[in-house]
Amino acid sequence: MNTKIKELRKQHKLSQEDLALEVGTTRQTITSIEVGKYTASLVLAYKIAHFFELSIEEVFDFSDIEQED
Amino acid sequence: MEDYKRKLERRRWVACLMLCIATVLVVVEVMMFIKIDKDPNAHFNEGFILGFQSGLILVMFVKSIVDIFSLTRTLKDERKIRLLYNKEHDERMQMINAKCGYPLIQSIAMFLIFVAIIAGYFNIIVFYTLVAVVMLLLIVSALFRVYYSKKM
């Protein structure tokens, strides 16, 4: 799944560790989400979106899932 | 976070207790080694199992010391407490552990080692077999962990 986390992080001048600390996860998980290896749970997706003051759809790209349907 | 801080403090006390137990066990082991060393009829297997036990006690001893120092250092820094909390409650790591059956394998390995030590006094072949099974379990679990860590 594609996400805009990396761009948003750069806009806010945050490191992966800073973001991980804010949303209650580890740097490795943020890396995995950014490169699309791991799909975040709804709770974590909400926390990340909430941190950037955006909706989940604005941060995570669900077009792959919509195409599958 | 205050609850977690208290949990860490409790863990530090447990590590202190483990260190005390390990120290007593080291003394007992040394006395048993001296006894076996003086006994001309002592079998090689007795010394071998005692050596294996000593290794486990030594690991317990070193791990307790490392835990005490690392927990003391962590408890002084709020950021480190949060990092440790996040590490222990990380959903990705929990999923990897669940896929590898890590909690179950850990319990089985501990139980089998305990059984192996007792069985070793009666039959050394059972001891070797159980230790080999534990080694295999831990190696397979570690390999799965590495695989899923790379995959996810």
CA distance B96 to chain A (A): 11
- The pLDDT-based confidence of B109 (bands split at 50, 70, 90) is very high
The verdict on a CB contact (< 8 Å) between A28 and B82 is no
Q: Is A25 exposed, middle or buried (0-12, 13-18, 19+ CB in 10 A)?
A: buried
Q: What angle do CA B50, B52, B53 make, to 5 degrees?
A: 65
CB-closest option in B86, B92, B149 to A24: B86
Q: Are B112 and B133 in contact (CB under 8 A)?
A: yes
pLDDT, position A47: 95
Tens digit of each residue's pLDDT (9 = 90 or more) over A13-34 = 999 999 999 999 999 999 999 9
What is the pLDDT, as a whole number, of residue B2? 85
- Give the torsion through C-alpha atoms of A24, A29, A33, A34, to 10 deg: 100
Q: How far is B98 from chain A (nearest CA, A)?
A: 15
Torsion of CA B100, A36, A47, A67, to 10 degrees: -110
Is residue A69 over pLDDT 70? no
- Tell me the pLDDT tens digit for each residue of A41-61: 999 999 999 999 999 999 998
Q: Is A3 helix (H, G, I), strand (E, B) or coil?
A: strand
In contact, B109 and B138? CB cutoff 8 Å: yes
- pTM over the 0.80 mark: no
Q: pLDDT tens digit string along B120-129?
A: 888 889 999 9
**Contact between chains at B152 and A25 (C-beta distance less than 8 A):** no
Cα A53 to Cα A55: distance, rounded to the nearest angstrom: 7
pLDDT, averaged across chain A: 90
